[in-house]
Structure 1
């Protein structure tokens, strides 16, 4: 992609306003906390303290909107406290330009490194640095600075108290995550009726697992219906796939296939009903038609072998899902008694998330692990530090006043990846123009005093909370108007703030964009590394599954589960990298988009085949298959060697796996599922090699083979578009 096209795409992304589900009650609660703080501060201390405390309460409310499964009061308290500390230290050094510049550089570098701990920590840390640049200019003495910092802590406490006193959809995000996972399984079951090898995106299951990790305090109050359904949904997915797949299930057409379609449709209806019940906290209402389909005794007369075992297992899992969601009499799918639930099925032991104080050591370890020059996070920290220091010096030297707006704009728009940095820079400037124009016009028409300016600032903040999910440009317009009214509350005229804010915001955005062009952290050159990591993870998952056919251990296989989670993480890392590289003005350097798309499809298929084999893992008393152990070792070794070949731009080879399968056939394997699955694993690995082999076939010239010589006229094939990003940060901003 050329620079011109990349700039065009990122600008369009930044100026886009999306239709999202609004949450007016939550926005009203945040605005109410802000109004309380401003009102009390104005009454007791005056406009200057009110402005500082307003920034603290504003940022604390922003923290509660972040995409985090942690309790919201903790986020509000952490945000208010960290902003108070930043402001107080900033004031202590504010009278000495070089000393304050050193503190700003240190604080900005640490904020940039904090992205290693996740987007929530990164956003809060970056916002604190940006707001500190404003709030350090408000106090007039050391005692006043301490008072301002104290009021910022109070602002965080007020927002936290409002979250506790007026909970809105308590556990709502966790309910939505689990309901989305069940609904995704339901949709998968319906798609399998028409496409027996339909793909499945594991992102909803990953989000549900992340939501299931709770703090000890949350574990004491978590609703019963959120305890075990996620683990059951995880087990349902491979059973659905194995029931529908012709390779290990029933023929593509015929009586057995018709029965499988009926079971899949009924399973989809039951899972949808469970998803609705979990989302709204109400009893499950099973459709009568689905209930009749699952209760019919014809399944045992129609299905046999692996398909019948899968249908029986599916019935037991659906029963457990409905019991967890609150239905007393779940249906079986055949006349066989359902499999009793185990300790792991009910997930009696919760996945514990560390408390906020315990999170600090983990955050420091993550930051320390990223302290290397080739790390995108470290490059972002260096880049944002240099830009903030440069912007502060330029703003200090330019005869405009309020020079902090240039570094503040830079810190708020810069992100570790190219597309977000550029799109946010465009949105920041566009939103600033709109917000400043509207606020200025209103100031000229109404000439509000302190009280009315405070009310207008609260209104703009409430609109910001309401519209922050719809896009950056809408949020930035509200932020710009909020700052104009807030500073106007302290007696500053619009002519003292508006021109400087517009010019310096533009300067900050331009500095951020130049910095990424000069010192980038492109994702495109790392695509082969991401692909190799995914190949290793998929290989280990497949090897763990195959090895259990040599050493039967029943359905409870922690090593298989850990390998599956690692493979999912590697897949998401690959897809995120592809999404970021899509808009980068960088050539593919050996891995074209067409090859990347084909490789992604084959690795997804490799994981799917391993999942099919996992669905039919033998019981603990089953007859072992000794050849499976050798095949598992060959899979581990070959995929690790293949990953090395991918990184070195070579085509991977799978001779060891092929040799083991030949020896396996010589010994004879009675289980059709395991032998067919092993053959599918090899076929998928060979398809990966074909996808990565971009060498043109030889051509015949006068009867002699010659290699095709590429020319600039050869067009690059147009690939299918890869799947979008999985975990983009959600857009809340600070002024």
Structure 2
């Protein structure tokens, strides 16, 4: 993508507004919390104190709108504490000549490192920089600096109190994440009816896992219907694939295939009903035909592994429906077992050392987080110093704009830059016109500021330009409480906004963090992770008695994370104005698409084999563990070849498989397949390994460089 096309694309993204993502109730609640802080403080303390309290309440409320599975009151309190500390340190430094730029650089660097904890922490940390820049402009002494810092923290505390008193859809984020997982399983079941080789999108399952990690406070208050349903969803996933697959599950044609389609259709109906019930909290309601589709009367049509997979599927669906509808008798009710164990999330106090360790691990050369932290510190400090040279009173708006614009990736930085400049200009001009023409008193200015805060909360998830317009107007009304000329300050703010935005965008262009350069690394990590997952599954066949279920589970989670990192990097790279060939001559965009398909095929085969893992008392399949180790080494070598540009070749693995198959896996009569329990596991391993090699062949062809492909065709 050219620079012109990239700028046009990111600019449009920043100016877009999507009305469907508004949340009026939460916006009203957040604005009400700000009003409960700013009006009493204005009456008791004055304009300067009201400004500090309003800033704290506003940013604390903004933190609660970020995507997070932590309790919303906790986010508000944490944001308030961070704002109080940053404000107090800023007050101490601003009175010492030359000290404030150093503090600003250090605090901005720490805010950049906060992105190692996730987007929510990164956004809140960047907001503390902007509040420090605004509030320290108020001339106060050191003793009163403590009061202003406490008022910032008070704003966060009031936000937390209002959230606790006025709950809006408690556990909504957790419900949505779990419901999305069940909805994706339903879509997966429908796709399998028509395409037995369809793959599932693991992203909803990953989000559900993150949502299932609870703090002790959440553990005591979790709704009963959210207890254990995620683990059931994970068990449903391989059962669906095992029923549909024609090599290891139901036959490709005939009565078995028709029966498999009926089971998948019934499962999709029930999974959709489960998703609706989880999301809304209402009783489970599904069509009357669903139980008959899942468990029809008469002799079973499915046999062998397909029959066992169908039984596992109905058992897991029974457990899920029983968890949501325990008081209702249905044909699917069965034994309901407890969860295998819960995921734990540290509380707010315990999170501090965890956060420090996580951020400190990023302080090494080459990490994107460290690159962003250094760039953020340099950009904010440079914008502050350049603006100070102008001698304008509101020069801090330049550094504030730079802090709000800079993000770790190109797309967000440039889209926010365009939106920030446009929104600030519009918001400042509109608010200044109101102030200049209407001459509102302090109480009216506070009321207008609260209205603008409500507008910012309402549009926070819809479009950054509209949000910035509301925020800029809010700051203008808030600072109107202090003496000064509205027209003069409006001109200064617009000018400093342009300066700060220009510095931020230019700095990113000169010191970029291109995701395109990381695509080969992400590809290599995904290849190796899927290979380890397949090897862990094969080890379960080689030693059923000694199999540790956590090994397969951990390998699966690593493969999911690697896939998510690859897709995220690919999406971000698509918006960057650089060519992939400049960073990775051996890969093209088309090749990356084919690699994704091949690795999806490889993951699906490993998933099918996982669905048929034998019980502990089963006979081990000789040689399965050894071949799995060879597979893990071969895929790790393939990943290294992607990074170095060497050719990817699985010929050695194919030769090892032929030797193993001839010596350890004697051929069986297809007509007798799965008829004897002793040979079932060998048949599954035989079919699965052949599919694994087919997938690796697809990967090998996808990674072949153009000159190699031409040589192969000529040969």
Alignment TM-score, normalising by the size of structure 1: 0.92
SS of the counterpart of 2:576?
coil
- 8 Å contact kept, 2:436–2:487: no
* Counterpart residue number, 1:110: 110
Question: d(CA) in 2 for partners of 1:697 and 1:105?
Answer: 50
- Indicate the larger mover: 412-421 or 552-561: 552-561
Which residue in 1 is equivalent to 2:49? Answer: 49
1:684 aligns with 2:695: yes
Kept in 2, the 8 Å contact 1:403–1:504? The answer is: yes
Partner of residue 673, structure 1: 684
CA distance in 1: counterparts of 2:204 and 2:373, whole angstroms: 31
Of 75-84 and 489-498, deviating more is 489-498
Which residue of structure 1 lines up, in the alignment, with residue 287 of structure 2?
287
The CA distance in 1 between the partners of 2:340 and 2:630, in whole Å, is 37
- 2:491 counterpart of 1:499: yes
Structure-to-structure mapping, 1:200-599, within 5 angstroms: 200-298=200-298, 300-328=299-327, 346-347=338-339, 349-553=341-545, 557-589=549-581, 590=585, 591-599=587-595
1:173-230, CA deviations, whole angstroms, 9 ceiling, x for partnerless residues?
Answer: 1111111111111111112112222221111111111000000111011111101111
More moved, 441-450 vs 166-175: 441-450
The DSSP-based 3-state class of the residue aligned with 1:20 is: helix
Q: Identify the range of structure 1 (632-641 vs 452-461) with the bigger mean alpha-carbon deviation.
A: 632-641
Partner of 1:661: 657
Q: How far apart, in 2, do the equivalents of 1:501 and 1:89 lie?
A: 24
**Contact 2:407 2:413 (C-alpha < 8 Å) held by counterparts:** yes
* CA separation of 1:279 and 1:439: change in aligned 2, threshold 3 A: same
Report how far residue 16 of structure 1 moved: 1.3
CA deviation profile, 1:487-516 (whole Å, cap 9, x unmatched) = 112243321321111111111111111111
* Change beyond 3 A, Cα 1:11–1:21: closer
Q: Distance in 2 between matches of 1:302 and 1:332?
A: 19
Task: Tell me the residue number matched to 1:605.
Answer: 601
C-alpha distance in 2, partners of 1:444/1:254?
80
Structure 1 residues 593 and 76: CA distance shift in structure 2, 3 A: same
Hey, what's the Cα distance between the residues in 1 that align with 2:138 and 2:355?
31
The whole-number CA distance in structure 2 between the counterparts of 1:594 and 1:706 is 22
Residue 715 of structure 1: aligned partner? none
Following superposition, the deviation at residue 441 of structure 1 comes to: 3.0
Match of 2:620 in 1: 624
Q: Measure, in 1, the Cα distance between the counterparts of 2:544 and 2:609.
A: 13
Deviation of 1:572 after TM superposition, in Å, equals: 0.4
Q: Distance in 2 between matches of 1:556 and 1:236?
A: 20
Q: CA deviation at 1:554?
A: 9.5
* Residues 322 and 336, structure 2, Cα contact 8 Å, conserved in 1: no
Give how far 1:32 is off.
Answer: 0.6
Tell me which residue corresponds to 2:195.
Answer: 195
**Is the alpha carbon distance of 1:131 and 1:698 closer, same or farther for their aligned partners in structure 2, counting shifts above 3 Å?**
closer
Q: Bigger CA drift: 15-24 or 26-35? A: 15-24
Q: Deviations over 1:427-454 (max 9, x none)?
A: 1011112212322332344221111111
Correspondence for 2:669:
none
Question: Deviation at 1:341?
Answer: 5.3
Question: Whole-Å Cα distance in 2 between the matches of residues 601 and 548 of structure 1?
Answer: 26
Distance in 2 of aligned mates of 1:129 and 1:48 = 19
Deviations 1:641-693, CA, capped at 9 Å, x for gaps = 11111111122222342123212321325432221111111111111111111
2:157 corresponds in structure 1 to 157
CA shift, 1:249, in A, is 1.7
Q: Post-superposition shift, 1:119?
A: 1.0
Query: How much has 1:553 moved relative to structure 2?
Result: 4.3
Cα separation, 2, equivalents of 1:555 and 1:311: 24
1:698 CA drift (Å): 7.7
Find the residue that maps to 1:220 and give its secondary structure.
helix
Cα shift readout 1:214-269 (whole Å, capped 9, x = no counterpart): 00111011111101111111111111111112121223332221111111111011
Q: How far apart are residue 456 of structure 1 and its match?
A: 0.6
Q: Deviations over 1:321-340 (max 9, x none)?
A: 1111224567668xxx97x5
Maintained 8 Å contact 2:449/2:475: yes
SS in 2 for 1:464: helix
Q: Distance in 1 between matches of 2:340 and 2:596?
A: 36
Structure 1 position 282, deviation (Å): 2.2
Q: Which residue of 2 aligns with 1:732?
A: none
> Is the 1:105–1:385 contact (alpha carbons within 8 Å) kept by the matching residues of 2?
yes
| Structure 1 residue aligned with 2:673 | none
Deviation at 1:389, TM superposition (A): 1.1
2 CA distance for matches of 1:699 and 1:684? Answer: 22
Match of 2:72 in 1: 72
Worse overlay, 555-564 or 448-457? 555-564
The CA deviation at 1:706 is: 8.2
Say if 1:554 and 1:229 are closer, same or farther in 2 by CA, change over 3 A: farther
How has the CA–CA distance of structure 1 residues 199 and 97 changed in structure 2, closer, same or farther, with 3 Å as cutoff? farther
TM-aligned CA deviation for residue 307 of structure 1: 1.2
Give me the whole-angstrom Cα distance separating, in 2, the residues matched to 1:74 and 1:469: 20
Aligned counterparts, 1:101-180, within 5 A: 101-180=101-180
CA 1:36–1:503 in structure 2 vs 1: closer, same or farther (change >3 Å)? same
1:450–1:491 CA contact under 8 A, matched in 2 = no
**Structure 1 residues 447 and 49, CA, compared in 2 at 3 Å: closer, same or farther?**
same
RMSD: 2.0
Partner of residue 731, structure 1: none
Per-residue CA distance 1:605-650 (angstroms, 9 max, x = gap):
1111100100011111112101211111111111111111111112
Equivalent in the alignment of 1:83: 83
1:353-401 Cα shifts (integer Å, max 9, x gaps)? 0011211222112222111231111111111111111111111110332
Q: Is the 8 A contact 1:37 1:54 kept in 2?
A: yes
Distance in 2 between the 1:395 and 1:261 partners?
68
CA offsets 1:541-562 (integer angstroms, 9 cap, x no match): 0000011111114997111001
Aligned partners of 1:653 and 1:139: how far apart in 2? 69
* Residue 599 of structure 1, CA deviation: 0.7
**Which residue number corresponds to residue 675 of structure 2?**
none
Give the match's secondary structure for 1:283.
coil
Which segments of 5 or more consecutive residues in structure 1 lack a partner in the other structure? 708-735
Q: Is the 8 A contact 2:539 2:547 kept in 1?
A: no
Partner of 1:712: none
Map of 1:725 onto structure 2: none
Distance between the aligned counterparts of 1:555 and 1:244, measured in 2? Answer: 26
Query: Tell me, what secondary structure is at the counterpart of 2:616?
Result: coil
CA contact (8 A) 1:174 1:208 kept: yes
